[in-house]
Amino acid sequence: MTLGPTGSDAPLAERMRPRTLEEMVGQEHVCGPEAALGKALRSGRVFPVIFWGPPGSGKTTLARLMARYTSLPFKTFSAVTSGVKELREVIAEAEGVRRETGRSTLLFVDEIHRFNKAQQDAFLPHVEQGLIVLVGATTQNPSFEVIPPLLSRTRVMILRALDESALREILVRALEDRERGLGFRAPQVTPAALDLLVRISGGDARTALNNLELAFHHKTDREGGVARLDLPDVEAALDRKALPYDKDGEEHYNLISAFHKSLRGSDPDASLYWLYRMLMAGEDPLFIGRRMIRFATEDVGLADPRALQVALAAFDAWRRVGPPEAELALAQAAVYLATAPKSNALYVAEKAVKGEIERSGAQPVPLHIRNAPTGLMKRLGYSRGYLYPHNYPGAWVRQAYLPEKLTKRAFYRPTNRGYERELRKRMAEIAKKNKAAPGP
């Protein structure tokens, strides 16, 4: 490992860990000047908290900053390697600190979700007494993984996967920092190489910095001094080819088109292929999610009403969990949409309705279905003659709802596929009753 200018042999990701709240990137909603935690720490105050977020989003860093800003004794505790026995030792040490200094101990519990309920119970009395200020970190939803009594004594703060601009800022800072980063070697990284490092990091700052350091050492070992890192250098170091992709160019539109048409063509294999072609090339997953939401309404529609729920759930899963776990949620939605019965009846109805409104303009609302909140409106005939369907058998009565000039128009014509088969049957029954019933 190449030592930094200060002689440190710590990994680049560790050396570049933010030392102040101002150095934090991408989590302003948690540690910014107006955020609750940011305000508290800048005033030297602290409170128990559980950080929920994907790997490399800054959970451990924020815990260390809490200790630095408050000058509290700091202890780390991993749910992976420790148990109740080790917790008792930590608590005994915290009690000693309390007797000597009167201060609480800030206890950082990494992967707190790995503790079972009985183990989590062991924290409760010490958090309640203020002996420890508990700072938990988890990649899992605390609502399911942390016991309610502990949740009620802490504040849950959600950290987000870092976006591309934040990751790029972190990498550039590491390249320019002469004290802790690689700036003392003055390496140049081409835009294409930097783009690849950003894209394959999956929103994880640690991964991005580790990959940069790996590429740096790979070229150093081969050529000695490093003046320049280009795309082939990064590809060779990480054994990862950069897929051709231009988010603002033709390939962007080609791939999303191929994805959409594969879904429409009910081909789950092709849908998965194009989905991962986009994801692995660095496309914004939320862009893909939005397109699937649109597809669920435009190409599936009411042939399967659950399609929209599945697409929305995948979109929400990405926002809540991020990569790599939520990639499978997108894949699940893609397969569901591809195999769902198809109907564009809603899309056709939308176009027909908009076209009619453009042609015929703002037709007046029939008097009998207007609201009549005032006496004057009642005297003018508003709501007169309206028939309340629930007062009739089957909660239905023949009655006109469209403007007079449009009473013969039909916009929505369901297909005979999927759930629309049931809707088609219902509409046919209503039409039959309309035909048979005398006018009101």
Most confident of 221-230, 236-245, 416-425: 416-425
pLDDT of residue 71 exceeding 60, the answer is yes
Please tell me the distance from the alpha carbon of residue 213 to that of residue 278, in angstroms, as a whole number. Answer: 26
**Of the ranges 25-29, 101-105, 257-261, 415-419, which one carries the lowest mean pLDDT score?**
415-419
Q: Which pLDDT value is given to residue 243?
A: 52
User: C-alpha 409: how far from its chain's center?
Assistant: 42
CATH T-level topology, domain 250-339: Zinc Finger, Delta Prime; domain 3 (1.20.272)
pTM of the model: 0.57
pLDDT digits (tens, 9 = 90+) for 274-320: 898 888 877 788 889 999 999 999 999 999 999 999 999 999 998 88
Dihedral angle computed from the Cα positions of residues 19, 21, 23 and 29, in that order, rounded to the nearest 10 degrees: 150
The stretch 264-279 carries a mean pLDDT of 90
The H or E element containing residue 156 is: strand 155-158
> From the CB of residue 37, how many other CB atoms can be counted at a distance below 10 Å?
24
Q: Which pLDDT value is given to residue 28?
A: 92
The stretch 401-416 carries a mean pLDDT of 86
DSSP letter at 365? Answer: P
CATH 1.10.3710.10 range(s) for the chain read 362-436
CATH 1.20.272.10 range(s) for the chain read 250-339
Q: How confident is the model at residue 60 (pLDDT cuts 50, 70, 90)?
A: very high
pLDDT digits (tens, 9 = 90+) for 158-190: 998 888 899 999 999 999 998 998 888 777 888
E strands, 330-398, where?
none
Cα R_g (the chain), whole angstroms: 30
**Of the ranges 56-60, 225-229, 302-306, 351-355, which one carries the lowest mean pLDDT score?**
225-229
Please tell me the distance from the alpha carbon of residue 187 to that of residue 193, in angstroms, as a whole number. Answer: 12
C-beta of residue 255 within 8 angstroms of C-beta of residue 274:
yes
Give the angle subtended at the CA of 389 by the CAs of 386 and 393, to the nearest 5°: 135
pLDDT digits (tens, 9 = 90+) for 109-139: 988 888 888 888 888 999 999 999 999 999 8
Q: Which of 138, 183, 181 is nearest to 157 (CA)?
A: 138
Q: How confident is the model at residue 249 (pLDDT cuts 50, 70, 90)?
A: low
Please give the structure tokens belonging to residue 382: 């508003």
Q: Which pLDDT value is given to residue 164?
A: 86
CATH 1.10.8.60 range(s) for the chain read 164-238
In a 10 Å sphere around its CB, with 0-12 CB exposed, 13-18 middle and 19+ buried, how is residue 10 labelled?
A: middle
Q: Which pLDDT value is given to residue 255?
A: 86
Q: Which pLDDT value is given to residue 217?
A: 81
CATH 3.40.50.300 range(s) for the chain read 27-158
User: C-alpha 337: how far from its chain's center?
Assistant: 20
Give the angle subtended at the CA of 219 by the CAs of 214 and 223, to the nearest 5°: 155
Please tell me the distance from the alpha carbon of residue 370 to that of residue 385, in angstroms, as a whole number. Answer: 10
Q: Which pLDDT value is given to residue 1?
A: 44
Helix ranges (H only) for 161-230 are 164-176, 191-199, 205-223
> From the CB of residue 355, how many other CB atoms can be counted at a distance below 10 Å?
11
Sign of CA dihedral 224, 229, 230, 233: positive
C-beta of residue 150 within 8 angstroms of C-beta of residue 120:
yes
Q: Which pLDDT value is given to residue 214?
A: 86
Q: Which pLDDT value is given to residue 301?
A: 92
C-beta of residue 363 within 8 angstroms of C-beta of residue 406:
yes
* Sheet containing 132-138: order of strands: 74-78, 105-110, 132-138, 49-52, 155-158
Proportion of the chain in helix, strand, coil states, percent, rounded to 5: 55, 5, 35
Q: How confident is the model at residue 241 (pLDDT cuts 50, 70, 90)?
A: low
DSSP letter at 298? Answer: I
CATH 1.10.3710.10 fits 362-436, yes or no: yes
pLDDT digits (tens, 9 = 90+) for 73-98: 999 888 777 777 888 888 999 999 99
DSSP letter at 229? Answer: E
**Of the ranges 64-68, 128-132, 251-255, 344-348, which one carries the lowest mean pLDDT score?**
251-255
Q: CA distances (Å), 29 to each of 57, 134, 314, 350, in order? A: 13, 21, 24, 39
Q: How confident is the model at residue 250 (pLDDT cuts 50, 70, 90)?
A: low
DSSP letter at 116? Answer: -
pLDDT digits (tens, 9 = 90+) for 199-212: 878 788 998 999 89
CATH placement of domain 27-158: 3.40.50.300
Q: How confident is the model at residue 220 (pLDDT cuts 50, 70, 90)?
A: confident
pLDDT digits (tens, 9 = 90+) for 137-148: 998 888 888 899
Dihedral angle computed from the Cα positions of residues 428, 432, 434 and 435, in that order, rounded to the nearest 10 degrees: 140
pLDDT of residue 440 exceeding 70, the answer is no
C-beta of residue 262 within 8 angstroms of C-beta of residue 274:
yes
Q: How confident is the model at residue 22 (pLDDT cuts 50, 70, 90)?
A: very high
In a 10 Å sphere around its CB, with 0-12 CB exposed, 13-18 middle and 19+ buried, how is residue 221 labelled?
A: exposed
Output the DSSP codes for 236-297.
HHHT-PPPP--TTSHHHHHHHHHHHHHHHTT-HHHHHHHHHHHHHHT--HHHHHHHHHHHII
Most confident of 21-35, 116-130, 217-231: 21-35
DSSP letter at 391? Answer: G
Q: Which pLDDT value is given to residue 438?
A: 63
Please tell me the distance from the alpha carbon of residue 191 to that of residue 312, in angstroms, as a whole number. Answer: 35
Residue reference for tokens 């250098």? 233
The stretch 388-398 carries a mean pLDDT of 86
Q: Which pLDDT value is given to residue 330?
A: 95
Backbone angles phi, psi at 155, to 5 degrees: -110, 130
Average pLDDT, the chain: 86
Rounded percentage of the chain residues whose pLDDT exceeds 90 = 41
User: C-alpha 161: how far from its chain's center?
Assistant: 8
C-beta of residue 274 within 8 angstroms of C-beta of residue 252:
no
Q: How confident is the model at residue 99 (pLDDT cuts 50, 70, 90)?
A: very high
Please tell me the distance from the alpha carbon of residue 112 to that of residue 139, in angstroms, as a whole number. Answer: 9
Q: Name the CATH code of domain 164-238 (choices 3.30.365.10, 3.40.190.150, 1.10.1270.20, 1.10.8.60).
A: 1.10.8.60
